[in-house]
Chain A
Amino acid sequence: MSKEVLLSLNSVSKTYELGEVKVEALKDTSLDIYKGELIVILGPSGSGKTTLLNIIGGMDRPTTGRVLYRGKDITLFNDKELTLYRRREVGFIFQLYNLMSTLTARENVELATELVENPLPAEQVLFSIGLKDRLDHFPSQLSGGEQQRVAIARAVAKNPGLLLGDEPTGALDYETGIQILALLRKINVDYGATVVIITHNVAIAHMADRVVRLRSGEIVEDRVNLEPIPAERIVW
């Protein structure tokens, strides 16, 4: 695996003001994400992992610190530049799929591919993740696992540099969860995508190239997993 840094967080902190109360979601956090790795960020509820993911994905801005993507500080980006960053470089996968109910599986993917110059063909991506027979189904006609596959296809089809998954298996049963994780690894391998998964499910860490553990807004562990196992062997 090459050690080219794709994204680098330098002393990033994030404070939310809720009325008179200040909540420090992230505290002086530094982290490098390497190109082509599959990284799992672990942490319990309220540990700051979603905040971290949102900052990486250009959906939120840190209170202090710098975030460098391919050497460019995205914290200095204006709204338009941040939008372009998300458009070209980032693919999101959410716990609750968040598909457009009035669009078919294919159209949900096309919604993303229309935004970029060199997308992967929507149908090809949907075929590759096993939704060949579900192209023209609306989300309400799909199972949870199938919906999450569509969400993954939507993220992947843009051919982004970074694929970010926020508890991608959180709403799925065990078998389906495993299938989704295997799919993420497949995408990581087949398309060379850098995948960042945040989860509270410790078992998922076994498939990661690297594991980062967060607690109360701080990184308490950052280790390389020397022997990642295939998703199919994970048990929880």
Chain B
Amino acid sequence: MRTLDRRLLRTILGAKAQYGAVVIIICIGLAAWISISSTAENMSTALAEYYSQHQFADLFADFTQVPVNTIDDLAKYKEVEMVEARIITDIRADVGREFYPTLRLVSIRHEQEINRLYVQAGRIPATAGERGIALLNVFARENNIAVGDKIDLIIRGELFPVTVTALVDSPEYIYAIKDIKGMLPDNLNFGIGFINLPLLQELMAMPGQANNAVITLRPGVDERALLEEIKEDFKGRGLKSMITKEDQVSHALIELEIQQLQRVSKAVPAMFLGIASLVIYMLISRLVRADRISIGILKATGYSNFELMEHYLKLALILGIVGAIGGITGGYILAGLMTQLMLDYFHLPLMEINLYFGFVFVGLVSALLFCGLSGIWAARGVIGIAPAEAMRPKAQLLGKKSLVEKWAPAVWTRCTFSWKLVLRGISRNRRRFVLATAGVALTYALILFSVYMFSIWNIVVDQQFGRLETYDYAISFLEPVGSDATVDLRRQVHAPIIEPFLELPFELTYGWHRQSVLARALPRTSQLYCFEDQEGNLVSLPSRGVLLSQGLANSLGVKRGSVVELSSYITGGQSYLVPVTAVVAQYLGSGLYLSLKQMERLTGQKGTFTGVVLTSSDDVKGMFQNMANIESICSRTDLADTFSEYMGVIITSASFMICLGGLLGFSILYNTTSVSIAEREREFSSLRVLGYFKPEIFRLIIRENAIATAAGLIIGAPLGKGIVVIMMNAVTGSTPELFYFPATIKPSAYFIAAGLVIGFMILTLLAIGRKVNRLDFLQALSSRLN
């Protein structure tokens, strides 16, 4: 090893903590890049493979009960490759638990082509005469059901025993949720059961009929255009709604997750490597300044500018390489853990944990590029050092008035001497102060975002289930009921408020935007739905017109006062123009709300309802679960419980983010302060000679950092808000009709985040305090060693 290289190594070892902090930032950046990118790639590859092997459908259509022949007509389109008519219906099932979970029955064919199942255990039920069912693996697992077990399907109040012949995964239900309002899978209370079409037709009393279709298209077909064409052709033929693969809930959510991962995988490393390169720049330029005489000597000895620049560049590259090695190793381990975590939510049977060397390569090159460029930029200071010049004592820094002195002389005159020292110090080293401030600002922004993530779920759940929907139970019926059903219910349960609702699918058009929606008609004076606009003002259901949820309005570009077009199979395809009287806050799912009267005007349906919502302290689920004609009973507590379970994941990831933010802030502040102390050794030594105590000198450093922290908090607040807005737009921007997160940060979040930043700053100062204590002031005054 060359002597100069040995010197370099000793320089690094002499400031382990400082360089270690930079290495950690690089490690985090690269680990984030490799783990998140690999996870996204693992998911994306597995998804594509799964879809391809199992023929995931391109189009999904909901029909009213129609003859299979009607659905088979779809095969006449030349763009269509295959069509499969299906029955999909939600029922309840007795699986041996106290409460009956909702089971979505999906028909399959013996020679299933589209959305083929992935058999985890057992076999697909045989066609001839077997009363068998294949259950979604995750539902079976949660309910302790094994192959060979018998479960009872509850249809029209009757029990139909079936045997579980297989546990399966389905490309259509990778993320199995009942509807988007659930948002999170509740695999205990909602599952999918696959039954052969003839048996399901028999059970549902739908001989020769179906209510759903899945379609695959030939390559290169414009699916949107075809979808519009089919919708037009099938008007009045029972087509309720039709969506492309992109809007299929399971696919949309998994795609969204992949997109989110891809976005984060780029943003986080760029931010961390950017910060690392700034810190490296600061450290190396400081080293070059401190090495001024050494550089002079080395030049006098015959070392060239190139050799000396290379010397300092090596330092940057060593940091980059060490960081990259740590980051790649950590990234690989994290990729496994993250992929496993994703597997808990998304059931992708073909998913494997792979490390992609492309990501490793890009990560390594990026780390070397970021570090190398900052190293070159800082090391260029070497060129400016003339050997003869370097031997002379360095010129005194120009004494300049600080900004406070210039702009607020009255304040300046009232400052104590030590405060003046602090302000002058900041004024003299503006670049370092800016870096420290930027570090605090970024830390604050990151922590604020994490605290926001922490609180947003509470806001969303509170808005959805505490303010918008205030009922305790929602009961959906298999067949529409008359108004006497509410009277019957009231007899059986103590329910202070029972309100019926009628939910029907509509096609909502505004300009060139078109969206399939479920419109929910409610009594105008509903007490269990409380609508608020974006400003929090109460909004009542209009007698004429509709209310749209914020996400749906955003996706269509609709505003209050816009007139939208509504059509449905129930209206025989006829369109109606209806004004939007308000856009209301709803964060989960999308909603179109109207009065029962308005629904009657649109569809002619009067006195029929598809469900009820009610408040009750009774055990409604237990009381009604044996009732015929009940599709599902949802309790608000169940939903809240599902979200509480998910909060664990949120808390873990937010805490992780907070730690990352803190580490970032620690690293920047530790380095800027260390450099500040090193550069002002002589100044501090002089103060010691004057009679200053070490704690008094430490107080100067604390004050400098406190000012940087205060400035960082002021800048970090809007920065954090900006990150929240950008991230939330990115998260919900592509699917605002699925969910919509308000970018509202509670004032308490600002305070909590600021408290955490100050906490991290105190930790940094405690670490720095040891440095101040160890400073040998007399040595600093007399030292001429390099």
- Residues on A lying within 8 angstroms of B by beta carbon are 50, 54, 57, 59-60, 79-80, 83-84, 86-88, 90, 92, 94, 96-103, 107, 110-112, 114-116, 139-140, 154, 158, 166
Contacts and interface: CB of A to CB of B under 8 A. Distances in A.
A98 to B, nearest CB: 5
Given A88-B302, A114-B2, A101 B297 contact: no
Contact of A115 (B297, B302, B784): B302
Contacts of A96: 784
A103 B387 contact: no
Contacts, number: 88
A102 B301 contact: no
B297 A92 contact: yes
B732 interface: no
Given A103-B7, A112-B301, A115-B303, 18 more contacts: A59-B391, A79-B305, A83-B305, A86-B387, A87-B301, A88-B302, A90-B300, A92-B297, A92-B300, A98-B293, A98-B784, A98-B786, A103-B3, A111-B3, A112-B302, A114-B4, A115-B302, A154-B301
B300 A80 contact: no
A38 B785 CA distance: 29
Contact of B4 (A57, A111, A158): A111
B6 interface: yes
A83 B785 CA distance: 24
A127 B678 CA distance: 36
B299 interface: yes
B305 A139 contact: no
A115 B301 contact: yes
Contacts of A54: 387-388, 391
A43 B784 CA distance: 25
B10 A94 contact: no
B10 A86 contact: no
A97 B294 CA distance: 11
A80 B304 contact: yes
B11 interface: yes
A205 to B, nearest CB: 23
A184 B121 CA distance: 91
Nearest to A108: B3
B46 to A, nearest CB: 52
A83 B303 contact: yes
Contacts of B4: 111, 114
Contact of B785 (A94, A101, A115): A101
A139 B785 contact: yes
A98 B297 contact: yes
B386 interface: yes
Interface of A is mostly: mixed
Contact of A100 (B7, B305, B784): B7
A57 B298 CA distance: 13
Interface residues of B, number: 27
Contacts of B304: 79-80, 83
Contact of A102 (B14, B296, B387): B14
B7 A102 contact: yes
A176 B784 CA distance: 19
B388 A60 contact: yes
The CB with the most chain A CB atoms within 10 A, among B11, B293, B386, B785, is that of: B785
Interface of B: 2-4, 6-7, 10-11, 14, 293-294, 296-305, 386-388, 391, 784-786
Nearest to A111: B3
Given A83-B302, A92-B297, A114 B386 contact: no
A78 to B, nearest CB: 11
Contacts of B786: 98-101
A123 B2 CA distance: 16
Nearest to B785: A101
Contact of A60 (B294, B305, B386, B785): B386
B393 to A, nearest CB: 10
A119 B339 CA distance: 59
A84 B786 CA distance: 24
B294 A98 contact: yes
Contacts of B7: 100, 102-103, 107, 111
B401 to A, nearest CB: 20
B317 to A, nearest CB: 19
Contacts of B10: 102-103
Contact of A111 (B296, B301, B784): B301
B784 A86 contact: no
A87 B300 CA distance: 8
A102 B3 contact: no
Contacts of A100: 7, 294, 297, 786
A-B interface, 7 closest residue pairs, ranked by CB to CB distance from nearest: A87-B302, A101-B785, A102-B10, A54-B388, A59-B388, A60-B388, A59-B387
B341 to A, nearest CB: 46
A152 to B, nearest CB: 13
Given A83-B299, A111-B3, A99 B305 contact: no
Contacts of B3: 103, 107, 110-111, 114
A96 B386 CA distance: 18
Nearest to A51: B388
Contacts of A98: 293-294, 296-297, 391, 784, 786
B262 to A, nearest CB: 45
24 contacts: A50-B391, A54-B391, A57-B300, A59-B299, A59-B386, A60-B386, A60-B387, A83-B305, A86-B299, A86-B300, A86-B302, A87-B302, A88-B302, A90-B302, A92-B301, A97-B784, A98-B391, A98-B784, A101-B786, A102-B7, A110-B3, A139-B785, A154-B301, A158-B302
